[in-house]
Structure 1
């Protein structure tokens, strides 16, 4: 698609991106390619033809590279350049240290994707040789070709977004611990007491079931005979007290009675029960600790949204919770740094990848590039939105029921995830609440329960 000038929207976006990169990599600057490591830093100073002007190895930590940058600036000045552009791969935390040192010296700073370096290394001489010297030169060469990008600024103005990023990372760690604890409990019970898992439809979502299991494990050390001698009435009182201690109101007596009846079940490896129940006690403690920490981290994430003034805006999207929105923004950072909504979708790897050549048209698939955790955060947001957001629900029904090019449920959910990212970008950058009519492309078909959304 192009306008009267013969330049497409993609061409304009690409030209704008190249202009921004050229501003950071002007031809009047020498390029300093740095291969970062723990205690050994390789620096090369090159011109825009990748001719090496100087090379030196500094045996120091990343935060001691100030003297190395001063040395590079001196070599560039001797070669007749007005300044330097510092380039490296975003490895771990070291690139942020280097970005700060470069900013303090008034130097431009860019990053080169490790994948781009890997491809360039293989195409260099059709080998897979990898040395610090070669990598530093490749980083400088890719920068000269503008095959680099401008990273998120490392400054005080971006401190709130940085905090949200770290809180999001902490939340992901806690979710992994939470899920791991659940899987461990399930596996252990399937081995020694499978009947317990049949006492509730969704046992790990039931506060009553978890409280009753905690009573059985902690009070009697997994001795089911001793728990049975307690009697149903006293067992119910113990579970009620445990539910109250966990912040609940009252237990579901149906689940309590089913679990008490399951104490007589002898299925499972009975000989292993004492040891397994001892391990279950520790796992339940870890699970409770992870859940408590998760609640605290999510509260902090929502408070950061309040600081940014985004809570009311992001929650205007029906079905998107403050925690869900914060989890997405923790992976994207400030959405204003993206040039378009499509760029955010590409960053998540949810953009379709076209395959066309001549008269051949292949099947479009997702690129799968970008940030995997951003894809996960967007994917999690889909489930809540499909339940309460009529626009997204109608869109999902249309994609899975149309006669031509019908999508599978997973494909349709992926399309909805991309729509959430695009519309979240519009809401945050334009500072306007979500409008269901605009989200449905100006139609009102989503208002009809039996209607379909716009194509």
Structure 2
């Protein structure tokens, strides 16, 4: 048989996906397109040729749309349809409410990506014209064409992990901003303080010593000099416990005490700038505590799901790192394959070829950016503690043909991490170095003794 006439694996996956969507949007059902807003909801009932059968504006909140769905079902039945499929864009959390209302009435529910509807809106009349009435029709038309997707099923435990992950990400953004603010201020008025430790903002001794100095003196270090190094060290021993360490690294405290005599920096701005650093350092302390609390809750959710031992079997991946990734993916069982999960993160390079032309393959940036970031953070531990990932990274960056840049190789390793995380959870088997290296179809040759 000619290979060109065979159905590829991609064709089979696409056909299966279209089959699942056709079950949600059958020909016998009308399509109800809803353009969600705060207090105004545009609802249209369309057939599969996007002909509008009924249209109505409901000036209610999203959680009061039950009457609108009942109205749409009655209009569809009058037009001869057996049921309806509800379609909308995933706007805020309103679509969750609409999905729940549809489920209570036994109605199928699908979502349309806002980016796809934006492109389709321009294709309507080649203009940027946008109204709620047109958007609702566009949403219904895209759903009828199966250019939609089935949203993630609602699950209490996985949903809690998602919210905790969003909270952790917010705290990490706050911590990053606070570190940058303190670094900028200290570089201006007291750069010697930044040289007291190799990584000052990761050192709890540095933070504890700085909090004591800034609380006592502000921009005038006279009181701390008069206090003396020995008494300062005693105060740091107590303060460092508040920051979560059992004992301080007194070398850093001594370096900061010696830096009190360093006059480098804009001295006129030092009092006000260091006062501001004290405020930011206090915010940094509380944000770190809240982040630790959220991470503890995330690891407890992993235990509730029964996947802690599976995900931590991957060398170099911590429970917190795995929880951060799973908070963005949701239940991996909802993905038909590990590659589908990688494509969801847009870590699978897209091919660019036409005829004899072959372009460079690269990621498009259209996937879930927060999942990409979580996977990217996860590989920093696996590149150090996972020999398979380290070997893959070394091979990709040193091979003679098609050698990758470090960032490209890191993206490839991040994609491998997502595939392996999907495999251990879906199969229920711990991580296996041999399978991770050679796969399930290829085995290394036995070497005779």
Q: TM > 0.5 between the two? A: yes
Is 1:364 aligned to 2:361, yes or no?
yes
User: Cα distance, 1:5 vs. partner?
Assistant: 6.9
Is 1:192 aligned to 2:175, yes or no?
no
Please show how residues 236-247 of structure 1 align to structure 2 within 5 Å: 236-247=233-244
1:221 aligned residue (218, 231, 256): 218
Match of 1:75 in 2: 75
Match of 2:128 in 1: 128
Please show how residues 35-184 of structure 1 align to structure 2 within 5 Å: 35-154=35-154, 158-184=155-181
TM-score (norm 2): 0.96
User: Cα distance, 1:230 vs. partner?
Assistant: 1.4
Is 1:377 aligned to 2:389, yes or no?
no
1:349 aligned residue (346, 350, 353): 346
Q: Which 4+ stretches in 1 moved above 6 angstroms?
A: 2-5
Maintained 8 Å contact 2:204/2:244: no
User: Cα distance, 1:397 vs. partner?
Assistant: 0.6
Maintained 8 Å contact 2:216/2:223: no
Q: Structure 2 CA distance, aligned partners of 1:289 and 1:89?
A: 37
Maintained 8 Å contact 2:110/2:148: yes
User: Cα distance, 1:247 vs. partner?
Assistant: 2.9
SS in structure 2 of the partner of residue 259 of structure 1:
helix
User: Cα distance, 1:390 vs. partner?
Assistant: 0.4
SS in structure 1 of the partner of residue 404 of structure 2:
coil
Maintained 8 Å contact 1:351/1:367: no
1:426 aligned residue (411, 420, 423): 423
Q: Structure 2 CA distance, aligned partners of 1:102 and 1:134?
A: 22
Maintained 8 Å contact 2:32/2:140: yes
Deviations 1:265-304 (Å, cap 9, x if unpaired)? 1111212222222222211111111111111100000000
Q: Structure 1 residues 3 and 291, CA, compared in 2 at 3 Å: closer, same or farther?
A: farther
TM-score (norm 1): 0.95
Deviations 1:10-37 (Å, cap 9, x if unpaired)? 0000000000000000000000000000
Structure 2, unpaired ranges of 5+: 445-449
Match of 2:266 in 1: 269
Q: Structure 1 CA distance, aligned partners of 2:188 and 2:413?
A: 39
Q: Structure 2 CA distance, aligned partners of 1:307 and 1:201?
A: 39
Deviations 1:407-433 (Å, cap 9, x if unpaired)? 111111110000000111111111111
Match of 1:7 in 2: 7
Q: Structure 2 CA distance, aligned partners of 1:300 and 1:241?
A: 28
Note the aligned Cα RMSD (angstroms). Answer: 1.4
Match of 1:450 in 2: none
Match of 1:451 in 2: none
User: Cα distance, 1:249 vs. partner?
Assistant: 2.5
Structure 1, unpaired ranges of 5+: 446-455
User: Cα distance, 1:403 vs. partner?
Assistant: 0.6
User: Cα distance, 1:223 vs. partner?
Assistant: 2.1
Maintained 8 Å contact 1:216/1:222: no
Maintained 8 Å contact 1:346/1:369: no
Maintained 8 Å contact 1:88/1:112: yes
SS in structure 2 of the partner of residue 440 of structure 1:
helix
